[in-house]
Structure 1
Amino acid sequence: MPSIYQLKPAFQGLLRPLVNALARAGVTANQVTVLAVVLCAAVGAALALVDDPRILLLLPVALFLRMAFNAIDGMLAREHAQQSKLGAILNELGDVVGDAAMYLPLALRPGFPVAAIVVFVLLGVVVEMTGVIGVQIGASRRYDGFGKSDRAFVVGAIGLVYGFGWAPLAWLGWPLWIAVALGALAIVTRARRALLEVRTKGDAA
């Protein structure tokens, strides 16, 4: 299925002048990666501590900034000779830690569907792990299907809708469970395509 991830090249093109300026200023990819996690943790803390539903409006803003940070750190690494093994670790861990830090506190808010939120976060970890396992078995890092950017879109939309009070909380579980189903499909898709890629490489050898 199509993914928001496919828009990444165009988004990177818009960010390239900023990335070049950051590189000249001495900003590193790893610093940006860590900053993205700190942003997620700060927003998660606000969601847990502030009762006002308007605090949910932080979600679309923070998720857009995080998407920008994720694009920037990758471009700094690839285009400005900053790739490192530490950076690869931080990049993968930062994604799942950031998701958990920002999304799990929603389960602490009155009336929010705890089970749906917890399963949504845990399944997201498995989706990303499946993508990384592709590298372990000799394929590329897989990004097929409903991934990080799509989960962020769902949570950002939830923050917008419920921050403005446009829908009753009783409806909140539906988009989360649909996202869970799409995430489960992404796990299967990433695993199958990683195995197919490995077989194709073997046949070509």
Structure 2
Amino acid sequence: MSFFEEKNPEMDRYLETHASSEPEVLKKLRKETYQKTTQPHMISGYQQGRLLTIISKMIQPKNILEIGTFTGYATLCLASGLAKDGKITTLDINEDLAYIPQKYFSESEYSNQIDFKLCNAKDFLQQTDEVFDLVFIDADKESYAEYFRLIKPKTKSGSVLMFDNVLWYGKVLEEYPTLKSTQIIQELNNLIAKDDDFENLILPLRDGVNFLRRK
């Protein structure tokens, strides 16, 4: 549950009721996530999933990168907009939960377009020479600023980036934050706002999404 959902759960329910219906495979995945994981709130969820789906379908990317797979909900939403010859590379380090996304990826119509890697995202970014049309980051918050620096050279004009949880339950408003994660998210938001190579907007959806487009 996000900072905003806690403030107004009635509005959150209204937003979900008046959005496109959730595909059956995602309903099943969401249910299993709540049944079998200890932190089910980490799932992208219904509202954010619809946003990712629509953005991906608008862009029709050939190459997507996702950092932070968790159980694969966002992955499947992003994959739904891939070009016919496109692919999504999704990275995570949690071997214990890998069986859940692997199960749903194999069952989905996008199974041949999803490359699920259990690896360190920083290592991957330092080694790959790929350029990405769409990037979604929902992983360890203390690495957000470094992810931005590493990802930027892997983008081109028109590339879209999204960083999740950039409002951090309202903690970004703290003048003197003590948590390292809060400090890094504040640093990320400042870096993005000052980077002339991007135009951006922070969407107050759930816990905040920093939405960027490379000029």
TM normalised by structure 2 equals 0.26
Which one has the bigger helix percentage? Answer: 1
- More contact order relative to length (CA 8 Å, sep ≥ 6): 1
Higher Rg: 1
